[in-house]
Each structure stands twice: as C-alpha cells, then as structure tokens.
C-alpha cells in the first residue's frame, strides 16, 4: 500500500510541477512516435527510471519495516515512514519540495510470517507399506510356528487360520475407519497461506475517508485493522481504490484558491529521499548524513505547521526560509502521529536521510 501510494504521488508531482507534459500513467500508454528523436529518448529514460523506482519501493518499505523493528525492540507494532520528493538541480537548491508521510507502517522483523505451523503425520502410502511389513512379519512368524509344530492336529491348524483371518479383518476395518473419520494427508506439502511476495510487502488496510486540510498538506485516512488474507484480485482492487482516493484528494486541493501543488517549473531533476535508521540496508539507497540536519528541520516544521505533530516542547521550530514545503499525510484509523523518541539511542538506531541512486529528469519536448 505504501509503495503504491508513493509511486502514484510521485507521478502526480511530476505532472503538477511541469516535469512531464502528460501524467505518467497516460504517458506510458501513448505511442512513442519517432524513437530516435530527443523527446522520445527522454520520455523512454523517464519511464524506465519511474518503473525502476516503483519496483525498488516494493522492497524498500519491507526493509524499512525490518530496520525499525531492530531499533524498536518491544515498541508498538507500527511506525511512521517519511519520503521526500525534491524538484531541482540538487537537494540544496530545491525549487519544489513534497513530503510523503505514512503513519501506521507495520513493523515486522525480516522474514517473519503469520502462517500457522503445518503438521504432517505421514501419507497413506506409508501407512499401507507399514501395514504390509507387519503382515509379512506375522506371516514369517506363523510359518516358523508351523514348522516347529508339524505334529499338531488339523483342528488346531484350522483354529489358527481362523484366528489369523479374524485379526486381518479387524486390522483392515480399523484402517478404513480412520480414513473415513480423517482424510489422509497429501504427499505434497500444502503451500503456506503467505507467499514470499506477501512478506516483502506490507498489509493493505481498507480505505475509509479523506479530509483535505490547508494548502500545505493533504490528509488521507485509512482503517488500521488486522487484515484478513486477501486474494490477488481483492488486493488489486484495494490498491486501485487507494490511488483513486489520492488523485481525488490532490484534485480537490488544486481546485482551492491557492492552487494546491500545481506549479509551472522548468524541467529539471527530481530527487527521492527516504528517512530511515542507520542500520537500514537496501542496494538502491545511499546514505546522506550531510542532509540529515536540514531535512529534519524541514520535516519537523512541516509536521507542526500542518498539525500532523504536536509542537516541540523546546518552543516553536525555526521557520525555514525559501520555498514552501508541501506534503501528503496518509494515516491509519487508530494511529496517532507522534515524534520518534530517540533518547539514549544507539548509533545504528539514529534516523538519517537516504537518497535513491536513480535519476529522474523531466522533459517538455514532445
């Protein structure tokens, strides 16, 4: 859910900030025209970079969840995730800045599953083989007894054969009665209710409502409940509903007097930044310790101004000069936005900012 909304928001930001002539989704469906033209090459590069980032985000939030779980042992099972989209030649020379906040990200150690234990008691074929082995052993014992008791009369032999027949009938009836009461387990182990793909991706909460706030940010609320296992079709339907809700919220904000996030900017680069613990590990993200102080101040000022966090006990946060920070806040029902308490934290638990190693460059030629 978080990865899908982040990719969708980035597509809206690129279009609203004038970095692409058409929405990214529409741009991907349009014919390419002359493939050797300059505009076609830029369009191709942007779409490839956007698809790569969307793919990386699917595993990014899983890695972020695992990293937060390491630094917050015994803490609540959810946390906040922060992304920043900076439009400009560099992060320090930003022309536009959009913050994406997910409050209610599920914190789960890497590789943890919800699937219950599977117990296998054997297969029907193994039971049959063991029964046959028992019968063979009993037959060998009976033959040995017959050889040692050759002088026994015919009546005793008939009684022994009858008793053997009765015992075999009893064993067979017990075996089939077990089959009737409990079906035999399969030779092939049943698959786990959760696949590896479900683990790398966080659960999708159901959407409830949206409430646009001031021009500085937009709020989207979701319901935070224990999700039941969803089919692929149900999961895709939930994700599409979330994307429509985000699009409608941004459209309502753009229809306001301030114009929302829409701004005509010259095509330039768009930088993707992520706030994560120092112990966070992902091959697509590079730590940028030198940006942490400035971005932390920008994030805190935005949270206080938009009402997503309580005022700092140290007093009002120093106003950030320059461009206004915009953002989208996605919260789960039952979650409360709060600051991370980082007192007496270890070095690996420190929250720093990371930059995506890809390159997204806008274009206007068509």
Length reported for the chain: 366
> Quick one: residue 226, left, alpha or beta (phi over 0 = left, psi -120 to 50 = alpha)?
beta
**Which portions of the chain are predicted below pLDDT 50?**
114-131, 134, 147-148, 150-152, 158, 160-161, 163-165, 167-215, 224-226, 338, 342-343
pLDDT of residue 255: 86
User: What's the rounded Cα separation, in Å, for the pair 170 and 282?
Assistant: 63
Which pLDDT value is given to residue 180?
A: 42
Largest CA distance in the chain: 114
For 328, counting Cβ atoms within 10 Å of its Cβ (0-12 exposed, 13-18 middle, 19+ buried), the class is buried
Q: What was the pLDDT predicted at 361?
A: 95
pLDDT for the residue 7? 96
Which pLDDT score is estimated for 232? 87
Q: Are 297 and 51 in contact (CB under 8 A)?
A: no
Structure tokens that stand for 159 in this block: 């009684």
In this predicted structure, what is the pLDDT of residue 15?
95
Task: Summarize the chain as % helix, strand, coil (round to 5).
Answer: 45, 15, 40
Q: Where are the alpha helices (DSSP H) in the chain?
A: 2-16, 24-29, 38-71, 124-148, 154-181, 196-200, 232-254, 292-306
Dihedral angle sign, alpha carbons of residues 24, 25, 28, 29: negative
Closest CA to 85 of 14, 161, 165, 168: 14
52: left (phi over 0), alpha (psi -120 to 50) or beta: alpha
List the chain domain ranges. Answer: 2-115+203-361, 120-141+160-189
Write the pLDDT tens digit of every residue in 315-345.
555 556 678 899 999 987 655 554 555 445 5
| Pairing relationship of beta strands 96-106 and 285-287 according to DSSP bridges | unpaired
* CATH annotation of 2-115+203-361: 3.30.900.20
**What local confidence, expressed as pLDDT, does residue 244 receive?**
93
pLDDT at 291: 94
pLDDT tens digits for 52-96?
A: 999 999 999 999 999 998 876 655 678 899 999 999 999 999 999
pLDDT of residue 24: 93
Q: Tell me the C-alpha distance between 198 and 194, whole Å.
A: 6
């Amino acid at each position: 859910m978080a990865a899908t909304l982040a990719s969708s928001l980035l597509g809206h930001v690129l279009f609203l900030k004038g970095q692409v002539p058409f929405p990214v989704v529409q741009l991907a469906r349009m014919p390419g025209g002359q493939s050797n033209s300059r505009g076609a090459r830029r369009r191709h590069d942007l779409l490839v970079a956007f698809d790569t980032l969307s793919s990386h985000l699917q595993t990014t939030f899983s890695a972020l969840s695992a990293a937060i779980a390491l630094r917050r042992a015994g803490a609540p099972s959810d946390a906040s995730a922060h992304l920043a989209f900076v439009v400009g030649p560099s992060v320090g020379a930003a022309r536009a800045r959009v913050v994406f906040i997910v409050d209610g990200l599920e914190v789960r150690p890497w590789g943890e599953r919800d699937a219950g234990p599977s117990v296998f008691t054997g297969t029907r074929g193994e039971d049959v083989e063991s029964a046959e082995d028992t019968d063979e052993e009993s037959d060998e014992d009976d033959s040995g007894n017959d050889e040692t008791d050759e002088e026994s009369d015919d009546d005793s032999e008939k009684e022994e054969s009858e008793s053997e027949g009765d015992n075999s009938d009893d064993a067979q009836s017990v075996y089939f009665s077990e089959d009737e009461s409990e079906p035999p387990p399969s030779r092939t182990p049943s698959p786990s209710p959760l696949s590896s793909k479900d683990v790398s991706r966080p659960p999708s909460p159901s959407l409830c409502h949206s409430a646009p706030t001031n021009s500085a940010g937009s709020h989207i609320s979701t319901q935070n409940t224990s999700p039941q296992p969803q089919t692929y079709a149900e999961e895709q339907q939930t994700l599409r509903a979330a994307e429509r809700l985000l699009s409608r919220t941004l459209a309502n904000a753009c229809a306001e007097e301030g114009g929302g996030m829409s701004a005509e900017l010259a095509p330039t680069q768009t930088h993707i930044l992520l706030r994560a613990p120092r112990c966070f590990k992902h091959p697509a993200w590079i730590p940028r310790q030198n940006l942490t102080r400035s971005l932390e101040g920008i994030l805190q000022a935005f949270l206080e101004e938009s009402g997503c966090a309580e005022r700092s006990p140290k007093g009002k946060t120093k106003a950030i000069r320059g461009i206004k920070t915009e953002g989208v806040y996605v919260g789960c029902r039952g979650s409360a936005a709060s600051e991370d308490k980082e007192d007496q934290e270890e070095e690996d638990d420190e929250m720093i900012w990371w930059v995506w190693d890809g390159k997204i460059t806008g274009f206007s030629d068509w």
